[in-house]
Amino acid sequence: MIISHDLGTTGDKATLVSDDGEVLAAVTSTYGTDFGPRGKAEQDAEDWWVALCGATQELLRRADVRPEDVEVVSFSGQMMGAVLIDRSGAPVRPAIIWADTRSVAQTAQLVERVGMAEGYKITGHRLNPTYSLSKIMWVRDQEPEVFGRATDVVLAKDFVAYRLTGVLATDPSDASSTNAYDQAAEEWSAPLIEAADLPRSLFPDIVASTAVIGTVTSEAARATGLLAGTPVVMGGGDGPMGALGAGVIAPESGAYAYLGSSSWVSVAADAPLHDPLMRSMTFNHVVPGRYVPTATMQAGGASLEWVVDVLAPGQDDRYVRLLGEAADVQGSEDGLFFLPHLLGERSPYWNPAARAVFAGLGRHHGPAHLTRAVLEGVAFNLYTGLLAFVENGTPIDAVDAIGGAANSPLLLQIFADVWGVPVTRRNLVDEATAVGAAIVGGVGVGIFDDFDVASRFSAELSSQTPDPDRHTRYGREYATFMDAYARLEPWFDRL
């Protein structure tokens, strides 16, 4: 049996997976986020560890599994953050997570010294405040005393792997989310780290996602309930891990959409995809030699969560009720648009100053219209990523949907109608990243021969087919949606 941990934005999901890929049990332990002014988004890394320990203990208890039956532990984790730790491995400050956009000035320094085009060529990503490198620079500039105590910088899954094993490392998928990794050279980028004026010693060794980095220590065994000596596999970032869990491991695998707090559309490729307009970015896959071209928006599922919490705070049935009502009204067809930039924006604008906007509100619009506009706004925004892939020679014939928000048939139908392709819901909607991590762990210790087992672990449950007339109509409304951002962009900078 395999235990995988998916350290997401809202909690750690521990999943028990059998050697034939069956999800036997899953437990989620939540933690909070400190959102603040000027783009602040932080979490306490110790909360991740507490969540991991609690979820592991509960998983073993609930599944009635003996610790000695667990053959390996592996990880998927939120990407693009920065956990600064001291020589003892203790965090010197709260972790800065992917959503934080305070390092605008530091990013401008990188662009000035390296150039945006050159940075994109080296890393496969724009130089942007959402990435780790400028966040580390921000701590150095804003909190020099704190920064002086830091000896290493890691990402979420690296931190808990270190707490389990005492071994400090990262993998190519997470390294490729930092703005400090050279994809061609497959190592940390000396030019970018030098441009950031940071010591190379801050950055950990990079090992394969499938590498057994160590075993559970006696101390960690007491905290988690695991058996001391259990192998621990490095794992990878949640984006590439979600691709693996969705079965997207090669160019012919097709496309998938992840609908979590942040949301993205993605494909697998044999080489980085460098979009001339830099709308998309490319992560390293957890599958060696493969890449994951991706277009990510900051607040996909988070936009739905926000509008539901605002319109129906504390109501147990708020999602079901509001989504049900949204199915019976119109949004963009009725002139109501939502720009879903609650946390600034990555693809396609890469603008941390962008903000969410309802445009076209009328007196007759109520909660159902607002909810519908949010769903359509997320679909429109992700459509830009799909178009970037198509325009760069990657045809999109269908999309598999994973992540919590993929449980909504209405949302998937809106996606199908906006995108003009079938959108499929699979049985691993909520567990895809966790199963991806389990596959990586299983390959790492020899339970699985290769990554192709991913295709056996999920089955199609339903498929939403696009309505041609609605797709044509949505095409006109998508143009209006894009025009709204273009007109508002100068105003965002004044806020």
Instruction: Check whether residue 190 and residue 284 sit in a common domain.
Output: no
Q: Give the domain CATH number at 275.
A: 3.30.420.40
Instruction: Check whether residue 97 and residue 156 sit in a common domain.
Output: yes
What pLDDT does residue 261 have?
Answer: 83
Q: How far apart are CA 480 and CA 494, in angstroms?
A: 23
Instruction: With CA atoms as reference, report the closest residue to 430 among 296, 258, 208, 299.
Output: 258
What pLDDT does residue 426 have?
Answer: 76
For 153, the token pair is 């910088």
Residues near 144 by beta carbon (within 8 Å), at least 6 away in sequence: none
Give the pLDDT confidence of 232-278 residue by residue, as tens digits.
999 999 999 989 988 889 898 889 898 888 899 999 999 999 999 99
Query: CA-based diameter of the chain, in Å?
Result: 64
The last residue of one of the domains, among 223, 239, 255, is: 239
For 369, the token pair is 């219209």
Instruction: Check whether residue 233 and residue 307 sit in a common domain.
Output: no
Instruction: Check whether residue 194 and residue 176 sit in a common domain.
Output: yes
Instruction: Check whether residue 225 and residue 266 sit in a common domain.
Output: no
Distances (CA, A) of 368 to 321, 362, 376, 478, 481: 9, 13, 12, 20, 19
Which residue range(s) make up the domain with 117? 2-239
Instruction: Check whether residue 277 and residue 367 sit in a common domain.
Output: yes
Q: How far apart are CA 476 and CA 333, in angstroms?
A: 10
Distances (CA, A) of 235 to 163, 290, 403, 485: 14, 15, 19, 37
Residues near 46 by beta carbon (within 8 Å), at least 6 away in sequence: 91
What pLDDT does residue 408 have?
Answer: 86
Q: Residue 426: what are its φ and ψ, rounded to 5°?
A: -110, 170
Instruction: Check whether residue 291 and residue 220 sit in a common domain.
Output: no
Q: How far apart are CA 481 and CA 1, in angstroms?
A: 48
Checking DSSP bridges between strand 72-77 and strand 2-7, what pairing results, if any?
parallel
Q: With respect to residue 481, please indicate whether it lies within any of the assigned structural domains.
A: yes
What pLDDT does residue 403 have?
Answer: 80
For 156, the token pair is 């979420």
The last residue of one of the domains, among 239, 268, 296, is: 239
Instruction: Check whether residue 226 and residue 253 sit in a common domain.
Output: no
Helix (H) or strand (E) holding 419: helix 409-419
What pLDDT does residue 253 have?
Answer: 87
Instruction: With CA atoms as reference, report the closest residue to 370 among 321, 332, 415.
Output: 332
Q: With respect to residue 460, please indicate whether it lies within any of the assigned structural domains.
A: no
Q: With respect to residue 415, please indicate whether it lies within any of the assigned structural domains.
A: yes
Instruction: Check whether residue 325 and residue 205 sit in a common domain.
Output: no
Task: Could you list the beta-strand ranges (E) of 434-479.
Answer: 460-464
Q: With respect to residue 442, please indicate whether it lies within any of the assigned structural domains.
A: no
Would the CA dihedral through 40, 111, 189, 174 be positive or negative?
A: positive
What pLDDT does residue 431 have?
Answer: 75
Instruction: Check whether residue 160 and residue 273 sit in a common domain.
Output: no
Q: With respect to residue 186, please indicate whether it lies within any of the assigned structural domains.
A: yes
Helix (H, G, I), strand (E, B) or coil at 382: helix
Instruction: Check whether residue 75 and residue 211 sit in a common domain.
Output: yes
Instruction: Check whether residue 164 and residue 38 sit in a common domain.
Output: yes
User: How many domains would you assign to the chain?
Assistant: 2
Q: With respect to residue 10, please indicate whether it lies within any of the assigned structural domains.
A: yes
Q: How far apart are CA 311 and CA 220, in angstroms?
A: 43
What pLDDT does residue 429 have?
Answer: 62
Global pTM exceeds 0.85? yes
Helix (H, G, I), strand (E, B) or coil at 6: strand
Q: With respect to residue 335, please indicate whether it lies within any of the assigned structural domains.
A: yes
Q: How far apart are CA 247 and CA 256, in angstroms?
A: 9
Q: With respect to residue 259, please indicate whether it lies within any of the assigned structural domains.
A: yes
Q: How far apart are CA 443 and CA 352, in angstroms?
A: 38
The 3-class SS string of 20-81 reads: CCCEEEEEEEECCCEEEHHHEEEECHHHHHHHHHHHHHHHHHHHCCCHHHCCEEEEEECCCC
Residues of the chain scoring pLDDT < 50:
none
Q: How far apart are CA 127 and CA 173, in angstroms?
A: 17
The last residue of one of the domains, among 186, 204, 239, is: 239
Residues near 194 by beta carbon (within 8 Å), at least 6 away in sequence: none
